[in-house]
Amino acid sequence: MTQAPYQGFNVPEQEFADNPDPRCPCILLVDTSSSMAGEPIDQLNAGLQSYRQQITANLLAARRVEIALFTFGGSVQLEQQFVTARAFNPPTLSTNGNTPMSEAVIRSIKHLEDRKAEYRANGIAFYRPWIFLITDGEPTDPPEQWKLACDAVRLGEEQKKFVLFPVGTSTANFAKLGEIAQSVKPLQLKGLAFGEFFRWLSNSQSRVSQSQIGSQVQLPPATGNDGWAVAPT
């Protein structure tokens, strides 16, 4: 029996035997650079905790949604390898350093492909994965690395391997986020509405988890009077 590459996981055969439901994988790429210190990181941490409570309240989503969490602040850290929502326990994040966003994007795509290989090897169906890129700034790694990240996203979306959603606070560089956005335009948080964003994400994932794979699902509106976002100016 092959040992799983996910520390803390059961071996995949047992994991998927216990829960053979199709999976809705989602990666959260979260900016934890120094500029996020203070209220931004506090609101982000509170939003992650409320997200856990909301997504696990839906029993089907708790079994089908899988979440991985990367941070990028000074360095890129895999804070949580893929687990089902019912096992997701977000750590309290802290801030540090610059913004290696390009590396975070590239590593997350590789991590996602590794997980999809686990699904296929064990006969587990899955919905198209989501990657959420959340930042208050812009990439500080070299321009050539940013180009590699943009190219990787473009190719991945062309091949329908995932969808990347760029989300920024008011201080984010939306011109840069527009370069990496392919099928979904960047959105700007209303203030520091991380709680509202994660509530929307939970509701959206719950809808998808109850649908047929490959079907079109109407997601709750992200913008408007009741939304968490506005179009950046």
- Spatial separation of the C-alpha atoms in residues 181 and 115, rounded to whole Å: 23
| Residue pLDDT, tens place only, 143-172 | 999 999 999 999 999 999 999 999 999 999
Cβ–Cβ under 8 Å, residues 177 and 168? yes
Amino acid at 143: P
Total domain count for the chain?
1
pLDDT over threshold 50, residue 37: yes
pLDDT over threshold 90, residue 1: no
Q: What pLDDT does residue 11 have?
A: 57
Q: What pLDDT does residue 233 have?
A: 79
Does 26 fall in a domain? no
Average pLDDT of the chain?
94
pLDDT over threshold 90, residue 179: yes
Does 183 fall in a domain? yes
Place of tokens 């956005």: 181
Cβ–Cβ under 8 Å, residues 112 and 129? yes
Handedness of CA 150, 154, 160, 164 (dihedral sign): positive
- 9 — pLDDT class (breaks 50, 70, 90): very low
Q: Tell me the mean pLDDT in the region 88-103.
A: 97
Does 153 fall in a domain? yes
Residue 167: CATH number of its domain:
3.40.50.410
Structural domain harbouring 132: 45-212+224-230
Tell how many helices (H) and how many strands (E) occur in the chain.
7, 7
Handedness of CA 30, 3, 10, 61 (dihedral sign): positive
For residue 85, give the nearest of 106, 59, 109 by alpha carbon: 59
Q: What pLDDT does residue 14 have?
A: 83
Q: What pLDDT does residue 19 have?
A: 95
Place of tokens 């959340």: 134
| Residue pLDDT, tens place only, 60-83 | 999 999 999 999 999 999 999 999
Does 187 fall in a domain? yes
Q: What pLDDT does residue 10 have?
A: 46
Mapping DSSP onto H, E and C, the string for 140-197 reads: CCCHHHHHHHHHHHHHHHHCCCCEEEEEECCCCCHHHHHHHCCCCCCEEECCCCHHHH
Does 39 fall in a domain? no
| Residue pLDDT, tens place only, 15-33 | 899 999 999 999 999 999 9
Does 59 fall in a domain? yes
Amino acid at 193: A
| Residue pLDDT, tens place only, 103-139 | 999 999 999 999 999 999 999 999 999 999 999 999 9
Does 9 fall in a domain? no
Q: Tell me the mean pLDDT in the region 214-229.
A: 94
- Spatial separation of the C-alpha atoms in residues 179 and 166, rounded to whole Å: 10
- Spatial separation of the C-alpha atoms in residues 232 and 218, rounded to whole Å: 23
The DSSP output letter for 126 is B
Does 3 fall in a domain? no
